[in-house]
Amino acid sequence: MADLFGTGAADTPPAGRPLADRLRPSRLEDIVGQEHLTGEDGALTRMIRSGSLGSMIFWGPPGTGKTTAARLLAGQTGQSFEQISAVFSGVADLKKVFEAARLRRANGKQTLLFVDEIHRFNRAQQDSFLPVMEDGTVILVGATTENPSFELNAALLSRSRVLVFRSLSEDSIAQLLIRAEETEGRPLPLDEEARAVLVRMADGDGRSSLTLAEEVWRAAGPGEVFSAEKLQDIVQRRAPIYDKGQDGHYNLISALHKSVRGSDPDAALYYLSRMFDAGEDPLYIGRRLVRMAVEDIGLADPQALVIANAAKDAYDYLGSPEGELAFAQACVYLASAPKSNAVYKAFKSSMRAAKEFGSLLPPKHILNAPTKLMKDESYGDGYRYDHDQPDAFSGQDYFPEKMGRHTFYDPPERGFERDIRKRLDYWAKLRRERSQG
């Protein structure tokens, strides 16, 4: 039998059997792209050598060999292989599987239970695995495309080892296509550029690459060779792997934010385009750009916030796709602007001080005195109206007396904040002089 991710001897396939299924690996070490797990010193290889398996969570994108690895683990350690999917199974199905595993165990046979998309089970369903894991009824191998830290119970995670499956590299995808051609006995009807495009279209998913290859063979006429442009017309392009509520969403927005913060407009545009291409809500992107403007640029360039908000308004007015250009413009402006988190840090520090010092009364000289009682209590006494003072600056202390003066805002010598720094330094000098006078 030929393998999906490596070498192996091919059987004669039943008619209509998908190429990806025909090319499944027959040995664990044949899985391509997961050498950190299946290589000579890999975690799964070590388990097989020891002859002892523990429960595991396989975390990784689709088409990276998780199901195949679980099946081969069972075969190479002499365990019965049971597979269920959290999409189609409920509590009744789990009970049947557990009961069958108990019968096998009574007859001296261990069960490896593979649960595909285990993150789709709710918390109570996940808890049902705990007793059968603890008493050895099953060795659980759960597969998930979502971050286990967010999607799986802490109790389940504490009893399992998380193994990370990586997206297949372009070299690994290229190797799969060569194996597909050997199995089919014919080359893919693609020119060099189109072949490279097909590899990228697979997006690190081995199964997807073989599905795309089948589509190409089905579409090609006798002697026809497709260009990159024709390839995209034929197969279209499947949506990128992106879950707007999960890791893909947070990974890309994090990459966009850090590219803007790192003053790299090219990288920022790339991640912005990735998010648009994946169908992200443009207004979510707009909100994040506004956040970048106030967190990472602030008063180093006060126009950054104006432009970020204007981009949101432009999108509201133009809609998609025309309005997306406004976000691109804002993205480039923010990435190119001088950076400062001085206001961000100052606000965090002032919030800590507000909590620490409690409800201190402001100094009486800056309190209004609308009633006689308040005047009798000296509210407003001694207040100096700044506009009537030299340089329109009185230099009075506005902090509560029990708190003392604090400095929260410390602008850097960058962008517009260079000018703000000069003003603050000048006022600090005046304040010292007038307090001494």
The per-residue DSSP string of 345-392 comes to: HHHHHHHHHHHHH-SPPPPGGGS---SHHHHHTTTTTT---GGGSGGG
The residues that bridge with 84 in the sheet, in sequence order, are 115
Task: List, in order of start, the domains of the chain with CATH numbers.
Answer: 34-164 (3.40.50.300), 247-336 (1.20.272.10), 361-436 (no CATH)
Q: What is the pLDDT of residues 350-402, one digit of tens each?
A: 998 888 888 888 888 888 888 888 888 888 888 989 899 888 988 888 889 88
Q: What is the pLDDT of residues 251-271, one digit of tens each?
A: 889 999 999 999 999 999 999
- Residue 404 has a pLDDT of 87
Percentage of residues in the chain having pLDDT higher than 70? 93
Query: Is there a cis peptide before residue 321, judged by omega within 30 degrees of 0?
Result: yes
The answer, as to whether pTM is greater than 0.75, is: no
What is the rounded average pLDDT for all residues in the chain? 88
SS3 301: coil
Average pLDDT for 273-292: 89
**Residues of the chain with pLDDT > 90: what percent?**
51
pLDDT at residue 147 in the model: 85
The letter for the amino acid at 188 is: L
pLDDT grade for 304, boundaries at 50, 70 and 90: very high
Taking CB atoms within 8 Å and a gap of at least 24, the contacts of 419-422 are 420/299
Average pLDDT over residues 392-417: 90
Higher pLDDT, 203 or 158: 158
Model confidence at 246: pLDDT above 60: no
Q: What pLDDT was estimated at residue 239?
A: 46
Residue 237 predicted with pLDDT over 70: no
Beta bridge partners of 113: 82, 140
